[in-house]
């Protein structure tokens, strides 16, 4: 059965034996395995039902330790790492052979990150290997931001969940890569594009041809069909629609069918509650969920990205 606790030594011991442990990070809960142990990594793909063409992010305690697994930290990468690590930023860099191809889906690069979470930091210091960890949820569903989200979906499939409470950022990391001297943001996330551009100049948002399978269009999906669009209480079937709004509450719609992410208009706060709100509305058993588009600035871009993908799956 699955135990939930804050015993870092126990988590380290399970991981050393090739077992999986769910770990807290500031972004979302991760489903971790020893990244250097292929059978353990394979188990991640099995438990999540994740396609093997979708590469994993490798987590380390600091940049120095991650240097063991990548060929080099070029200037742009060191600049971003110095500013945002530990934090919600993932860097794609040429990998060393020690990282199994299974982790990178056969790519010559590996995605690396230093997460910000006291328990996970302590865990990464205790083990002598890096942790491969995608989000701790079945592939395609909304990512978990609390231990109970993990337990709901993976309970019985993993021995241990390291309990670090609620994730403070609540949305996945921003993934950055370089090609022919150009910086690309492959996935919008917890560090905004504006913050990255302030350090490395203009970036391209989107994939690099022939590199990663990229981030899939259908993802982060609720079981209840979700649509993204303006909320007009006059045209909504108010009894059967869940409403996800940024700041505004709608008196015409039953209170219990609405989640307002941040009445004061704080995009950081809104993104930290986004996935929990999607799960909450999904559990109400309604006909559909209607989410309003967020401002296309700062973390609002990452929120819109997740909502768009959830809507694509509907």
Binding residues for Mg ion (CB under 5 A): 135
With CB under 6 A as the rule, give the number of residues binding ligand AMP. Answer: 21
Residues with Cβ < 8 Å from 282, sequence gap 6 or more? 142, 222, 223, 224, 242, 289
Q: What are the angstrom distances between the C-alpha of 130 and each of 115, 190, 212, 229?
A: 12, 22, 21, 41
Sheet strands side by side (includes 241-245): 226-228, 288-291, 241-245, 258-260
By CB under 6 A, the residues from 52 to 111 that bind ligand AMP are 54-57, 92, 104, 107, 109-111
**DSSP alpha helix (H) spans, 230-266:** none
Close Cβ partners of 181 (under 8 Å, ≥ 6 residues apart): none
By C-beta, is 135 or 145 nearer to Mg ion?
135
**Per-residue x/- mask for ligand AMP, residues 197 to 216, rule CB under 6 A?**
--------------xx-xx-
174-179 and 89-94 beta bridge pairing: parallel
Tell me which of ligand AMP, Mg ion, none is bound by residue 54, counting a contact when its beta carbon lies within the kind-specific cut-off of 5 to 8 angstroms: ligand AMP
Q: Binding to ligand AMP by residue 305, rule CB under 6 A?
A: no
Q: Are 183 and 176 in contact (CB under 8 A)?
A: yes
Distance between CA atoms of 51 and 308, rounded to whole angstroms? 21
Cβ-in-10-Å burial (0-12, 13-18, 19+) of 17 comes to exposed
Pick the closer one to ligand AMP by CB: 18 or 214.
214
137 binds ligand AMP (CB under 6 A): no
Q: Which residue, 172 or 282, is less far from ligand AMP as judged by CB?
A: 172
Partner whose footprint covers residue 211, from ligand AMP, Mg ion, none (CB < 5 to 8 Å by kind): ligand AMP
Nearest residue to ligand AMP, scored by beta-carbon proximity:
212
Pick the binder of ligand AMP from 123, 175, 243, 289 (CB under 6 A).
Answer: 175
Among 22, 44, 186, 196, binds ligand AMP (CB under 6 A): 186
Binding flag, residue 138, ligand AMP (CB under 6 A): no
Q: Which stretch binds ligand AMP (CB under 6 A): 48-56, 191-199, 236-244, 289-297?
A: 48-56
Q: Rounded to whole angstroms, what are the CA distances from 190 to 22, 85, 102, 195, 241?
A: 20, 12, 26, 10, 29
Which of Mg ion, ligand AMP, none does residue 286 bind (CB under 5 to 8 Å by kind)? none
> Which residue is it, tokens 């769910």?
22
Is position 134 an interface residue for ligand AMP (rule: CB under 6 A)?
yes
Question: Which residue's CB is nearer to ligand AMP, number 8 or number 175?
Answer: 175
Which span sits near ligand AMP by CB under 6 A: 170-178, 194-202, 277-285, 299-307? 170-178
**Phi, psi torsion values for 141, nearest 5 degrees:** -85, 170
- Closest approach of Mg ion to the CB of residue 56, in Å: 10
Lookup: tokens for 34: 């020893």
Min. distance of Cβ 105 from ligand AMP in angstroms?
A: 7
**Residue 159 parent element (H or E):** none
Q: 99: closest CA among 61, 63, 46, 55?
A: 55
Q: What is the smallest separation between the CB atom of 135 and ligand AMP, expressed in angstroms?
A: 5
In whole angstroms, how close is the CB of 233 to Mg ion at the nearest point? Answer: 33
Residues forming contacts to ligand AMP in the complex (CB under 6 A) are 54-57, 92, 104, 107, 109-111, 134-135, 172, 175, 177, 186-187, 211-212, 214-215
């Amino acid at each position: 059965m699955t135990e939930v606790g804050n015993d870092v030594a126990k988590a380290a011991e399970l991981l050393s034996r090739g077992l999986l442990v769910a770990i807290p990070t500031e972004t979302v809960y991760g489903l971790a395995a020893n990244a250097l142990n292929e059978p353990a990594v394979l188990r991640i793909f099995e438990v999540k039902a994740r396609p093997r063409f979708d590469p994993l992010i490798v987590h380390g305690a600091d940049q120095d330790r991650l240097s063991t697994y990548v060929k080099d930290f070029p200037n742009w990468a060191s600049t971003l790492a110095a500013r945002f690590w530990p934090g919600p930023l993932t860097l794609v860099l040429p990998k060393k052979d020690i990282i199994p191809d299974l982790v990178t889906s056969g790519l010559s690069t590996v995605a690396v990150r230093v997460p910000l979470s006291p328990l996970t930091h302590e865990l990464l210091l205790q083990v002598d290997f890096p942790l491969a960890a995608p989000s701790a949820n079945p592939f395609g569903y909304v990512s978990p931001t609390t231990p109970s989200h993990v337990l709901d979906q993976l309970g019985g499939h993993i021995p241990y969940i390291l309990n670090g409470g609620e994730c403070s950022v609540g949305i996945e990391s921003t993934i950055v890569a370089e090609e022919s001297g150009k910086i690309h943001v492959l996935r919008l996330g917890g560090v905004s594009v504006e913050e990255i551009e302030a350090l490395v100049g203009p970036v391209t948002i989107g994939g690099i041809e022939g590199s990663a399978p990229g981030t899939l269009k259908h993802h982060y999906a609720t079981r209840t069909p979700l649509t993204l669009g303006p909320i007009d209480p006059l045209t909504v079937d108010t009894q059967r629609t869940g409403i996800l709004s940024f700041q505004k509450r709608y008196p015409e719609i039953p209170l219990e069918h609405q989640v307002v992410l941040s009445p004061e208009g704080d995009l950081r706060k809104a993104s930290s509650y986004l996935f929990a709100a999607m799960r909450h509305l999904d559990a109400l058993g309604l006909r559909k969920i209607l989410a309003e588009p967020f401002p296309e600035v700062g973390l609002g871009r990452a929120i819109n990205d997740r909502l768009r993908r959830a809507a694509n799956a509907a």
